[in-house]
Structure 1
Amino acid sequence: MLSTQQLKFSRTTCLTLAFLSVLIGCHSQQSKKVENKVAEHRFQPDITIWPELDFAVKKSPVVEQKVAALLSTMTIEQKVAQMMQPEIKDITVEDMRKYGFGSYLNGGGSFPNNDKHATPQDWIALAEAMYQASVDDSLDGSSIPTMWGTDAVHGHNNVIGATLFPHNIGLGAMNNPELIEKIAQVTAREVMVTGIDWVFAPTVAVVRDDRWGRTYEGYSEDPEIVGKYSAAIVKGLQGAADKDFLSDQRVISTVKHFIGDGGTEGGDDQGNNLASEQELLDIHGQGYVSGLTVGAQSVMASFNSWHGKKNHGNKYLLTDVLKDRMGFDGFVVGDWNGHGQIKGCSNESCPQAANAGLDVYMVPTGAWKPLYENTVAQVKGGVIPMARIDDAVSRILRVKVRAGLFDKSSPANRPLSGKTALIGSEPHREVARQAVRESLVLLKNNNHLLPLSRHQNILVAGDAADNIGKQSGGWTITWQGTGNSNTDFPGGSSIYDGIKAKLANGDGSLQFDVDGNFKQKPDVAIVVFGEEPYAEGNGDIDNLEYQRGNKKDLALLKRLKAQGIPVVSVFISGRPMWVNAELNASDAFVAAWLPGSEGAAISDVLFQKANGEIDYDFTGRLSFTWPATAEQTSVNRFDQDYQPLLPYGYGLDYSQDSQLSDELNEKSEQRLEKLSSLKIFNRAVQKPWLAFLQSANEATQINSNVQKMGAISYKAIDKNVQEDARAVVFDGSEPAAIYFSASFPEDIRSYVELKSALSINLKIEQKPSDKVSLVMACESECQADVDVTNQLETMELNQWQTVTVDLACFTKNGLDAAKVYSPFKLMTAGTLSLSFADIALVPNSASNADIRCQ
C-alpha cells in the first residue's frame, strides 16, 4: 500500500511537483524502476506444484444462499461499484451515497478531515457517515454496507496515540508466534475503536535482497518464520475459525502481496521476480499457504512482476493458482493503482485486471470515476464477461456476510467503537514492550560490558536516542514516517526515556547530549543511531553500507572510544547493514531494528536490576543474515556459498562470550568495476523517469511527439533511426526547461564513487542568448546547477557532439547522490535551439569530461 499524501493531484501533476520543489510524497503510477531483467526463457507452468488447501473456514449453504439472493437483485452499476475502492481524500460522503462503493481506504498518511491529529472520534464519525451513506438506497438503489480498509501494519499506525509495535523485521527476531497473535489481537481492538472493519496485514514477503526499501516489512529471509507468523496474525486479527471468527472483536485480514514481492531482481521495489515456480511456492508462497488455511478472507495483489508479467494482470497466478488450485474463496484486492501498471492499461481503464482475477480495484486519486464508468461500459460491451463480474462480487459479498456486516450495528454503535481508553492502553503497551525486549539482538558484548549497572555514570548520545519517530520508522503516522516529533506519540517513550527512568532512583548519574559532549567523564556511553525513516520506493538503496559518504555516527563512536569510554551501540535500522567500522568502534552492539512507540523497553534489557541481577536477557536471534560486505546484499540461509559476517539465527545472550573481532575489515570493496552506464535517454526517456516541459512556474508531462508549453517547444526527430532524438526550442519569452523526473529517488552514489560523468549527445541549431544551466535535483531544497553556457556557445552548429560533465560538479554544488529524483534538467531564460539523443551516466569518464570538478 502506498501513501495518499497528494491524492488530489493527477499523476502528471504529482511528478511535476516532485521536481518543482514541492514534492511531499506523491507516488508514480509507474513501477519505480525498469524491470532490469526479463526472463530469457519461458517455462511451462505446472499447476500441480501448488497445494490444494483445506480451509478452516468453509463455504456455508446459508451464506451462499444469501450471497446469491443479493447478487440476483443487483444491476451492473451496483456490481461494479462493489469492485471499486477509492480513498478518503478523494471521495465524499455524497459520492458514497451516489455510487455505493463496496469499500474504501485510507492510505498511509491519510486522515479524516486531512488532519494528522484527527481524534478517534473523528475516525469514528467518518466511518459512521460512510456506512450510513452506503446503506442509503435513495440514489443508487443499494443498501449493501461498505467496508473501510486501513494499513495497520505495526499497530494502528495512522492514529495518534496508538500502540506501535516493532516493525516486522524485529518481530521476526523474536520467533514467537504466540506473542505475534497477541499483537494482532491488540491491533484489531485498537482498529475497531475507530470503526474500521478491515486491515491490510499481514505482509508475508520473504525478503531475499536487503537493498529493498520494504525489507523491514518482512519477518525473515526464510519462509519458516513467515509461514508460522502468517497463521498467527490472521487468527489474531480475525479470530479462530471455530471460536470468535470475525466477531465484533475482530477485523478482516489481508495476506499480502501476492506473490514474490520480496524476491525481485536487485531488490527493486515493484520489480521483476525470476524465481522458478517451485521457488515461488517454497520461498514466497508459504505465508499464503498458512494464512489462507486458517481463514484469511482477502489477498492483496503485488506490484511486482513474475518473469516480466505484472501480477495484477496475471491470470495464471490470481485465478488458476490462487482461486482454482488452492481454492481461495475470498476476494483479491489490488494495490495502489496497481492495475494501471499492466501492459495496455491505465489507472482509468483496465479490463485486463478483472479478467485476470482481480476482484477489487484499489483506485485512489481522481481515477476512480473514469475507472468505474469504463468498467461498466466494458461489462455491457462484453469486454469483461458478466460471469467474471458475478464471481468477483460474490466473493466480496461472501466476505461481508461472513464478517456479519449485514447484521452488525453501524460503526459508531459497535461494542469497541469509541472506547478510546483502549487506544494506547497500558495492557496493550505492555504487549508491545514485551515485543521490543524479545526483538533485540545482541551482536557483540566485549568483556560482558552488558548488562549495565544502575550505579554507573552513563552518557547517552546519538540522534536516535530521544526520537520516537526515528525509532518507529516508516508507516508511522505519515507514509514515509517523516515529519514526526515526540509530541506526536502521546503515551509513547523514547529509548532515552527508559534509560532515564532506570537511573532515576539509583546512585548512578546520567548525561544526555546528542553529539556526545559531557561535563563529567562517563563510565559508559550508550550511543543510539541508525537509519532515517523511509517506506517503499524511497527506501531502496544500491548497497548496504551504513552512512556511505557521511560517517558522522562512526566519528562519534571513535571519538568516545579514543577518550577511553566504553561504548554501547544501539543500532536502529530496517535491515541488516554493513557496519564493520561501527562494530569495531563499539564494545557492545545491539540490533534494535525499529522498535516502535515503546522505546523505553530497551533499557529493561540493557540494565541490571537494582540488586545487580539480570532483569531481562537477550533472546532475539537474527531472522536475516548479517552481511560481511556492503555488496553482500542477497546472502540468505541455505545459500550454497554462505559466508556472512553473522549467520541466520545468530544472537548472544548474557552467558555467552563475544565472538566478533575488533578488527573487522572496514574497506568497502564495492564491485564498482562491474558498473555499466546508466541510460537516462536512449531513443526515449528510460524508466523510472518521465519527461516534462516547464515554462515559468508551470510544468506538464510530455505525452506527445510534438508538444509546446509557453516558452518551450519539443518534438521527436530522427538521428540514426526513427524518432531516436528530440528537438527543443526555447523562445526566450520566459524561463523554460526540459527535464526528466521520477517520484521516487535513485541512488547514484556508485556512479559518483566511480568518477562518472553525465554524457549528453547534442546538436546545436541556435546558440544560447543567455545562461544555460544543467541541473540535477534530489528534492525541493537539494539540487545542483552547472553552467554549460560556454560549452554550448563553442560547439559547431548543426553537428552532433557529446558534452560531458563530471558528477562531482553536482555533488560539490549540493546534490545528495543517494536520493536523485531528477538526473537531467536543461534550463535557460534566453533563446536556444538544440537537439539531444543519448544521455547517460558513464563510469570512469570524469577525468576526461568537458567540465571537471575532481
Structure 2
Amino acid sequence: MESEVQQDQKLEEEVSQILSRLSIEEKVGQIIQTEIKFTTPEDVRDFHLGSVLNGGGSFPANNKYATPQEWIDLAQAYYAASMDNSDGKLGIPIIWGTDAVHGHNNVIGATLFPHNIGLGATQNPDLMRKIGEATAREVAVTGIDWIFAPTVATARDDHWGRTYEGYSEDPELVRAYAGEIVRGIQGQGDSSFGDGRLVSTAKHFIGDGGTHLGIDRGDTRVSEQELRDIHGQGYFSALEAGVQTVMASFNSWNGEKLHGSEYMLTNVLKEQMGFDGFVVGDWLGHSFVPGCSETSCPQTINAGLDMFMASNEDWKSLYRNTVKQVESGEIPMARLDDAVTRILRVKLRAGLFDAPPAERALAGSTDIIGSEEHREIARQAVRESIVLLKNQNNLLPLSRDIKVLVAGDGADNIGKQAGGWTISWQGTGNTNADFPGATSIYDGIRAAVESAGGKASLSIDGSFANEAKPDVAIVVYGENPYAEMQGDLKTLEYQAGSHADLKVLKSLQSKGIPVVSVFLTGRPLWVNPEINASDAFAVAWLPGSEGAAVSDVLFRKADGEVNHDFTGRLSFTWPMTLEQKVINRNDTAYEPLFAYGYGLGAGQQDLLAANLPEDRPNGSNAAPATAELFDARPLAPWHLVIVNSQGSEIEMTGNRHEMPEVSISAVDRNTQEDSRNVVWSGNGTGSVRLRAENNRLDFSHYLAADSALNIELKIDQNSGAPVFANLHCGDNCSSAFDIAPLIKGFTPGEWNSISISLGCFNTNNVDFSKVSAPFELSSAASLDLTFSNVSIGASGSETHSCSPEMAATPEQ
C-alpha cells in the first residue's frame, strides 16, 4: 500500500546516524511512554524517555483548570529535559500524546466537536478534514505534538461502551472518513507537518468494534477476511493518508491478545500493509498479554509493539526489566533497533528536532482555542449530524414566535451533551461553568424563540403553571456521560427499570401539548416507548460544545422559511425490538425500525406507525432476576454519593471526593477505575450510598424471591467497630444491618464476597416497593474498604440470613 508520506533517503540516513550513537539504556528509554502524573522533567532526562501522555482527566500539576500557558510550560520543560546532553548522551526530543478525540477535550475553553457517531451521520468526509485541522491547531497551541485520533473502529454491537467513538457500523463510511481526518491533523503533500500540523494515530488495531457481546477489551471472533473487510477498512485509508502511528488494541482476535500478536502487528500491519511509522500500546495494554505484567513484557515488543504505554506509577521497573531483557537477548537487539528507528523516523518527519514547543508557530496563540472559526465548523457538524426519526404532522421545524417549554436534564447541561472524554475521562464532574464560550441546547432554543418575540421557559421536570401552558414542549434527555469499559451495556433498553424521562413525555402529552424529543446518545437504543410518547423525535447524538446549533434545525427562520434542513442520516441501524441485540447494514436478516441511511427532511412524509411495539423479550415486562447496582460505575438510575454526619452529601462525579468523615476514590481492580475505595477517618459517622434521583423503585419481588445484597469488597484497615449496611426507602424509612462480624476475619488486601439476605432489612418500617437507596455502608470508626461489583439477586453460597429482629440501628 502506497502512503502519501514517502521515505526520504536523507532522513533515513539521519535516523541511522542517531541510532548508532545510542546505548541500550537510551534505546529502551525511547520505547517507553509514561503518564505526566507520574513523570517529572528529571525523569525524562535521566531515563531518556521517548514519550509522555496525558490520559483522560490528567492535567499539568493535576489542575483541571490549567491554562494553555501551563500546558506549554510543562511541554517545554519535558522537551528541554529530553534534549539535555549534559550526561554525555544524545538529546532526542520527547513526543507528547493526548486523547483529543473530539477537539482538544482536556483543555478548558476548547472547541468540542460532536463525537464520531454524530460525525458519521453527517455523511460528509470533507468536513472531517476541517475538523482534523481545527483540532490539531488547538492542540498545537498548548505545545503537544501527537493526537491519539482518529478511532477507526467499525462498531457492530451497540452494547459496546465505545460505540460513539466509531463513525459507523459500515466499513465503507469508516474508510471514507479515516484518511480525511488524518490529512486534517497531519496535512498533505507540502503541508505535511507544517504549522499547526501534528502526528495522528489510527486506533485501535484491530477489531475493537467487533468483540463478542460488545464487551470492551473482549474477543473478536471472526475470520481474517471479515477482520479485513469489516474492521480493517479505516486503516487502509489512514495508511494511504500517511498516518504515522497506530495504537494496538486491548481486544483479542480469536483468543489472541492483539498486543501480543506478531502476525497482526508485524506480518500484516508492517509487512503486508507497508506501515513504516510506529505502533504504540494502549493504557498498560501489554500487561494483558499471557505471561506479562505491567512491569515486564518482552512478548509484546517481540510481537511488533514499538512503544509501551506505561501509564502507571511503576514504569521505572518496566524500564529496568526491559533493559535486562535486551541485554540477555530475550528481546533481540534487531527488534529494539527497529522500534527505535520507527520512533526516530516519526519524530524527524514531524519536525520535533527543529524547535522546542514554546517556539513553534502556534504555541501560545490562545485566541485559536475556541475560536469563532472553529466553533462555526463545530456548529456545521452539529446541524448536519441531527437525524430526524419521527415528525408527525410535520411538526418540525417550529415557528419561532411561540411559547416553548424546554424540559429534560440534558437541556441546559453542556457536560451531558458533550459526553465522555470531556475534561475528565468519563466526562463526569463538570458544570456549565467549565465550558467558557460553549452553549447549551437550551441557550440556542431561547435565543431562536426570543429573536422573533416568542418565549422559552426551562423546566427540567416539565412542570408549568396552568396559565403558562406552552404551545410546544421540547424535551432534551438521554444517556449520561461515560467512556469505554464503563459504558458497556447489558441491555439496549433506555432507562430500563426507571423510565423517568418517559414519565415526563407522557405527562406533557396527557395535557395536550405537542412533544418534541431531542435525544442525546452515544448509540442507537431501544426507545420505542419514548418515540410513541413524542410527536417528533430527533437524535442529536453527543453534539459537544455547540449545543445552540441544535436550534438551527428545530426552528424555521423568522419569515417562516426553513432555516437549516434536517440532513443527518443514520450511520448506525436503529433496532426494532430488544431481541435484535446486533443488527447491521447488509445483514441477511435485516428488519430494523430505522435502516442505515434513514433520516427525514423537513416536509418529508412520516410513515412511522403511531404505536410502536413496546414488549420486552418474550412478551415479558418483568424485572430482571438480578438488579445490577454497581459494575465499574453506578448503573442507572443509581448515583454514588458520600454523606457526612449532618446528612450533607457529595455525588461522585470525578475520581476523588472528600469529607472530614469519609473520602472516596476511583481505583483499579481488574480494569481502569472499576472499583471505589472508601476511607472513614473516625471523625464522625460517614456513609457511601447508591441512591436514585427523585425516584423510588419496586424491589418487593426481590424480597419475595429471597434475594440477597451481594458485594465484592476488600478490607485494608479495620478497627472492628460496627459497619452498617443500610437500605433506604425515603424519609424515616430505612433498615440497617451490622456487617462487622462478616468482615472481621478478612485478610487485609484480599478480595472477598459477602451476601446478605434482603430479609435482614425487612423491618416494619421498610417499604420494599419504594426503595430509594438499596446499598449504603456507614461507620463512625476508622475503616479502609474497597468495593467493586454490587447487585441484588440470587443468594450466594454463604448468604447471611437473619430474622427481622436482628436488624440493627446505626449510631449517629
Does the residue aligned with 2:53 lie in a helix, a strand or coil? Answer: strand
CA distance 1:653–1:140, shift in 2 (3 Å): farther
* Cα distance per residue 1:609-632 (max 9 Å; x no partner): 010000000000111111112342
Q: Equivalent residue for 2:582? A: 634
Q: Deviations over 1:398-419 (max 9, x none)?
A: 1111111122x21001111111
Q: Are 2:744 and 1:805 equivalent residues in the alignment?
A: no
Aligned to 1:21: none
When residues 852 and 405 of structure 1 are mapped into structure 2, their CA distance, relative to the original with a 3 A threshold, is farther
Structure 2 equivalent of residue 7 of structure 1: none
Q: Which residue of 2 aligns with 1:654?
A: 602
In the alignment, the residues of structure 1 paired with residue 11 and residue 622 of structure 2 have an alpha-carbon distance, to the nearest angstrom, of 59
Distance 1:279 1:613 in 2: 47
Show the counterpart of 1:239. Answer: 187
What is the alpha-carbon distance in structure 2 between the residues aligned to residue 93 and residue 438 of structure 1? 44
Determine if contact 2:260/2:289 at 8 Å carries over to the other structure: yes
* Per-residue CA distance 1:145-184 (angstroms, 9 max, x = gap): 1111000000000000000000000000001000011000
1:419 to 362, 365, 390: 365
**Amino acid corresponding to residue 475 of structure 1 in structure 2:** W
**Residue 144 of structure 1, aligned match among 92, 107, 110:** 92
> Are the structure 2 counterparts of residues 60 and 486 from structure 1 closer, same or farther at C-alpha, using a change threshold of 3 Å?
same
The whole-number CA distance in structure 2 between the counterparts of 1:201 and 1:702 is: 27
Instruction: Give 1:306 shift.
Output: 1.0
Q: Please state whether the residue corresponding to 2:446 is helix, strand or coil.
A: helix
Mean Cα displacement is larger for which, 637-646 or 580-589?
Answer: 637-646
Structure 1 residue 352 and structure 2 residue 304: aligned?
no
State the secondary structure of the residue aligned to 1:525.
Answer: strand
Q: Which residue pairs with 1:65 in the alignment? A: 13
Q: Secondary structure at the match of 1:95?
A: helix
Q: Which residue of 2 aligns with 1:460?
A: 406
Whole-Å separation in 2 of the counterparts to 1:367 and 1:319: 28
Q: What do residues 789-811 of structure 1 show as CA deviations (whole Å, max 9, x unaligned)?
A: 9999xxxxxxxxx9883599799
| CA–CA distance in structure 2, aligned partners of residues 614 and 852 of structure 1 | 68
Structure 1 784/85 Cα, relative in aligned 2: closer, same or farther at 3 Å? Answer: farther
Alignment-derived partner of residue 169 in structure 1: 117
Query: Is residue 206–residue 283 contact of structure 1 (8 Å, CA) maintained in 2?
Result: yes
CA distance in 2, matches of 1:250, 1:790: 61
Aligned with residue 186 of structure 1, among 104, 116, 134: 134
Question: Which residue matches 1:596?
Answer: 544
SS in structure 2 of the partner of residue 154 of structure 1: coil
Q: Name 1:230's counterpart in structure 2.
A: 178
SS of structure 2 residue aligned to 1:463: coil
Secondary structure of 1:634's match?
coil
Distance 2:619 2:44 in 1: 54
- The two structures have a TM-score, normalised by structure 1, of 0.77
Distance in 1 separating the partners of 2:760 and 2:546: 42
TM-aligned CA deviation for residue 89 of structure 1 = 0.5
The 1:840/1:508 distance shift into structure 2, 3 A limit, reads closer
**Post-superposition offset of 1:812:** 7.7
Q: Return the offset for 1:544.
A: 0.7
Task: Tell me if the contact between 2:759 and 2:802 (Cα under 8 Å) persists in the aligned partners.
Answer: no
Aligned equivalents of 1:589, 1:608: Cα separation in 2: 17
Which of the numbers 488, 493, 498 marks the counterpart of 2:444?
A: 498
CA contact (8 A) 1:675 1:843 kept: no
Cα distance in 2 between the residues matched to 1:307 and 1:657: 46
Q: In 2 relative to 1, CA 383–427 (structure 1 residues): closer, same or farther, beyond 3 Å? A: same
1:580 matched to which residue of 2? Answer: 528
How far, CA to CA, are the matches of 2:440 and 2:703 in structure 1?
36
In the alignment, what sits opposite 1:372? 319
> Which SS does the other structure have where 2:388 is aligned?
strand
Structure 2 residue corresponding to 1:488, chosen from 416, 426, 434:
434
The amino acid of 1:303's aligned partner reads F
Contact between 1:205 and 1:257, CA under 8 Å: does it hold in 2? yes
2:375 to 413, 429, 432: 429
1:473 aligns with 2:419: yes
2:554 equivalent in structure 1: 606
Tell me which amino acid in the other structure corresponds to 1:649: G
SS at match of 1:511: strand
- Cα gap change, 1:371 to 1:753, in 2 (>3 Å): farther
Stretch of structure 1 that moved more, 388-397 or 517-526? 517-526
Aligned equivalents of 1:791, 1:122: Cα separation in 2: 49
Q: CA deviation at 1:664?
A: 1.1
The alpha-carbon deviation at position 367 of structure 1 amounts to 2.1
Between the aligned residues of both structures, percent identity stands at: 56
1:122 to 57, 65, 70: 70
Closer, same or farther in 2 for the Cα pair 1:417/1:758, shift >3 Å? same
Task: In structure 1, give the amino acid aligned to 2:175.
Answer: G
* Counterpart-to-counterpart distance in 2, 1:544 and 1:286: 27
**Aligned-partner Cα distance in 1 for 2:803–2:168:** 45
What is the identity, as a one-letter code, of the residue corresponding to 2:423?
I
Q: CA deviation at 1:470?
A: 0.5
Q: Which amino acid aligns with 2:276?
A: D
2:255 equivalent to 1:298: no
Distance apart, 1:784 and its partner CA: 9.9
SS at match of 1:257: strand
Is 2:287 the partner of 1:340?
Answer: yes
State the distance in 2 between where 1:808 and 1:650 align.
Answer: 52
2:760 and 2:802 in contact (8 A); partners too: no
Residue 814 of structure 1 and its aligned partner are, at CA, apart by 6.4
The TM-score, its normalising length taken from structure 2, stands at 0.81
Query: Whole-Å Cα distance in 2 between the matches of residues 341 and 776 of structure 1?
Result: 38
Residue in 2 that maps onto 1:199: 147
The verdict on how the C-alpha distance between 1:662 and 1:172 changes in structure 2, with shifts beyond 3 A counting, is same
Cα offsets for 1:289-341 (capped at 9, x unmatched):
11011100000001111111111111111111111111111000000101011
Q: Distance in 1 between matches of 2:88 and 2:44?
A: 9
* Structure 2 gaps, min length 5: 634-661, 671-684, 686-698, 711-719, 729-733, 744-753, 763-767, 782-789, 805-812
- Residue 540 (1) aligns with residue 467 (2): no
Long gaps (5+) in structure 1: 1-52, 681-685, 689-695, 704-734, 736-748, 761-768, 778-782, 793-801, 830-838
Inter-partner Cα distance in structure 2 for 1:163 and 1:134: 31
**Residue identity in the other structure for 2:164:** Y
Q: Which whole-Å CA distance do the structure 2 matches of 1:470 and 1:807 have between them? A: 38
Secondary structure of the equivalent of 2:15?
helix
1:252-271 aligned at under 5 Å gives the runs 252-271=199-218
